[in-house]
Structure 1
Amino acid sequence: MDKAGKLSRPNFVRARFLGLVLLTLVDGIAATGQGALKLRDAIETALGKSPDAAIARAGNREADAGAVLSRTALLPQLSFIEDISRGNDPVYVFGSRLRQRQFTQADFAIDALNHPDPLGDFSTRLSGSWVAFDSFKTQREIRRADSLKQSAQLSGKAVDQQIVFRVVTAYQSVLFAQREVDVAEHEQETAAALLTSVDDHVKAGLAVESDRMSAQVNGAARKQELIAAQGDLELAWAQLREAMGVADLQASDLKPIEPHTFPQLPLEQEIETASKSRPDISALALARSAQASAVGAARSEFGPRISTYGNWEEDRGSLGASGGSNWVAGVQISIDILPLGKRAQVARETAAQQRIEAQFAASQLHVRLEVNQAHIHRQTAALSLETAQVAVDQATESLRIVRNRYGAGLATITDLLRAEDAERQSQSNYWHAVYGNTMAYAELLYATGTLTPDAAEELQ
């Protein structure tokens, strides 16, 4: 404080302007350390450890197995059977002796036919079958499985983009909360300097005791704001841990949030990009194609089915004895002449197809709305950032003038605190606008289906 009793300019003007600059530089230096978490690293960790990503990968493997399984219907079925049996059932004994080639004239005796002695049979059997034609049902099932496989892959990409968006949101929240803490710490320091200056004024008889009390209340309020900002920062870190799927992630100083200028494109171009790039829409289109194949497969059940089969068998009276062998082969043609259940199956698959068609149409409309909203948010956020910057400049200049007037005894402590509040609010609004501008662009990338890890680096 000078001899005229004016407030010290370094305590107020330089402390406010240069202090924030120094905090930014210190944060930037700290962020270059090895312990600083980069956005790309956070995204890669989330894609590797997030439970949602694991679920998507399991879905891809399930669809891959389904595609392989559908092709097994084209292959012949072959089975090997070793059957050991013993009994005195007349039909069983008669047939087994014939198959063993051990039948004699004595076996035609009436008593031997009606009351045969127990007989053992060791049977070795090879059986095979192959569907030669099933009215193209198998081919349609294969097309369905392939479409579902591709749909699952695209659904996995949609999940990846959801994960990226969650990580970007949480990461940017940490940056914003970190900046809020920096501002709150600086405001608390400024409030302490103001209290010291007011004390000097009171001792010099240039201010009254109520001014000191007002400055003390202001200091307490700034301390409460700092506590709240620190709590918000801890919560933001907890949300980032959840988004990354890492429970033991340690908090660290990240590169401070900074304003960015992002490109702006026409709305129709962004909608066209979304129609081509959105993986969830492409996945739904493939699911629609798969369901069309399912309807075709159900209708194939009405057509004829041609199967071939073959059987070779060797029967022996004991394990090491010689016996007889036989074989049989044939072709079977079958047609269901009362396909009531198959009609119901076609009706169910058709209804499912209509449902997917409606879902696809609704999703296209919803995506158009999402892109429209994101486009508007992007424009609004950019304008809000410009307005917030102007408000900061105006509030800072107003505070400088009021401080000079208070130092000269031309303004009250109430005027000074009101100017302090306005300047503090403008700072908070500015950093919130910076955060909102970045998130609006991330929302637009997500809505257009282009939010990849590489694209997310633009937000760093």
Structure 2
Amino acid sequence: MLVCRISLLAAGCLLLVWIGAGACSETNVLSLYDAIRTAMENNPEMLAMRSALAAQKEDMGIAGSSLLPRLTLEERAMRTNNPPSVFMMKLNQERFSSSDFAMDKLNDPGPFNDFQTLLSLDQPIFLRKAQVGFRMAKQEYAAKKEDYTRKKEEIAVKVAQAYLRILTARSYVGVALRSVDDAKEHGRVAELRYRAGLGLYSDALRAATKVTEAEQRLVRAKKELAVARRWLGFLLGTTEMVDVEETKPEFPLRDIEYYTGAASSRRDIAAMKVRRENAKNNIKLAESTYFPSLGVQGAYQLNDRGRPFGSEGDSWLVTAYLKWDLFDGAGREFEKRKAQHKAAEIEEHLRSLRQFVSFKVHEAYLAVEEARKNMELSESALATAEEGKRHVKTRFENDLSPIVDLLDVQRNLDHARANVSARQNDYYMAVINLGYESGTIMKDLRME
């Protein structure tokens, strides 16, 4: 009776959990590959990175626009009694006559209006700074594309982690359910023995307590499963829970040479190589101020005394120009030395990144070996725990062992069951992390 009362109380708690997690049954069930593809399209970080890449591409157009012609339309209105200005206005309006040479008109012409319409064209022919700037924008876009691909690898790893987290949590729920069933069976046997006068009341109490503890672990396991599903949903760009297939994908493990060879061209290393070249271009950008700039300008002008865009007089102008800054206060020398220091800085960053990547690949490979051995040991421990429980259960049923021994081996068995699932998923995650550290993750997942 005692076991039944406690079980009814716990069942009420379980009902609330099932109601809260009931929405899970309505969720879509995705494979790992479907989940990764969905994240590539809807993950907020990926969407932000995609926008950043598009913005970087526009920088190429901005830099290239400096080499294209500039066409400008201006309209000016002027009123003055300044003698030279009035003289020029009349000439531009083609209204100048011999009477305007009278001394009184030249010295005191009176207020005069002029509407000036100017259409001008400026076309650079040689502009070293703009040419280098366009090349730098193009290379930075190439580096940003490498960053974007690396972000895809990062999101793929996060999705795989969330996927395996759901599988682990689901396994824990299964283990917890078996633990509840086993605890109830122990409680039933203990209560029957107590009623038959073959056991102690304290044994029945201990068994009932273990039932409650097992049901509490089940509640916790279901909560972790719901959290894991919602976390995967977040990575996929939704606020809903997402469920996954039960089957575990295959993750091939190759020799260490495969990963170390691929790591040298990892996406972030490739991006930093491009930025190293851009740092060298930055030196050229500083040196570009030593070069002259060449270009042509043209203008067509309309003048009218009474209305905007009027055409009482018209004229045109064509100019070729060369501009050469011979001395700017030594600023460009400082800019050049600064660019050289920056280039040396990024060279060291690249060298450090290569060394760090090599270290991370070897570390990840050792972690795979550790996870594989732990998985094998956990399976061996489970077999031992199951055999130990079988012996103790037989002894308990034959009144040769106290219930404390049975509950102890049951606890060890529950831990071994959960540990097997955890260690298996740890191994899969270690292999995925190895692919991420070496830059082969998308190829290993067959997502390329």
With the length of structure 2 as denominator, give the TM-score of the two structures: 0.88
Q: How far 1:345 sits from its partner (Å)?
A: 2.4
Q: How far 1:154 moved relative to its partner?
A: 1.0
State how 1:57-456 maps to structure 2 within 5 Å: 57-134=50-127, 136-247=128-239, 249-252=240-243, 254-256=244-246, 262-276=251-265, 278-319=266-307, 322-452=312-442, 455-456=444-445
Q: Is the CA contact (8 Å cut-off) linking 2:230 and 2:241 kept in structure 1?
A: no
1:292-327: CA deviation from partner (whole Å, max 9, x where unpaired): 112211111112222322223232333456324242
Deviation at 1:34, TM superposition (A): 8.9
Tell me the amino acid that sits aligned with residue 344 of structure 2: Q
The residue aligned with 1:5 is: none
Matched letter for residue 173 of structure 1: R
Would you say the 8 A contact 1:123–1:315 is kept in 2?
Answer: yes
Q: RMSD in angstroms over aligned alpha carbons?
A: 2.3
DSSP-derived class of the 2:445 partner: helix
**Structure 2 counterpart of 1:8:** none
State the shift of 1:251 in Å. 5.0
Amino acid at match of 2:134: I
Q: Provide Cα deviations, 1:319-359, integer angstroms capped at 9, x if missing partner.
A: 45632424242332423323422223223333332232222
Instruction: List per-residue Cα deviations over 1:216-238 (Å, max 9, x = no partner).
Output: 12112111211221221122123
- State the Cα distance separating 1:113 from its structure 2 match: 2.5
Shift of 1:262: 4.6
State the percentage of identical aligned residues. 25
How many residues in Structure 1 have an aligned counterpart in Structure 2? Answer: 422
Amino acid at match of 1:275: S
Q: Secondary structure at the match of 1:301?
A: helix
Give the Cα separation in 1 of the matches to 2:370 and 2:81. Answer: 92
Q: Distance in 1 between matches of 2:360 and 2:354?
A: 10
Gaps spanning 5+ residues in structure 2: where?
1-23
- The 2-side partners of 1:334 and 1:282 are apart by 38
Structure 1 window deviating more from structure 2 (322-331 vs 43-52): it is: 322-331
Query: Partners of 2:395 and 2:233 in 1: how far apart?
Result: 49
2 CA distance for matches of 1:351 and 1:219?
Answer: 69
Give the residue type in structure 2 aligned to 1:289. Answer: E
Report the secondary structure of 2:110's partner residue: coil
* CA distance in structure 1 between the partners assigned to 2:232 and 2:52 by the alignment: 25
* Matched residue SS, 1:126: strand
The one-letter amino acid of 2:121's match is: G
- Deviation, 1:83, is 2.6
SS at match of 1:245: coil
Mapped contact 2:231–2:241 kept (Cα < 8 A):
no
Question: Structure 1: how far apart are the matches of 2:294 and 2:202?
Answer: 102
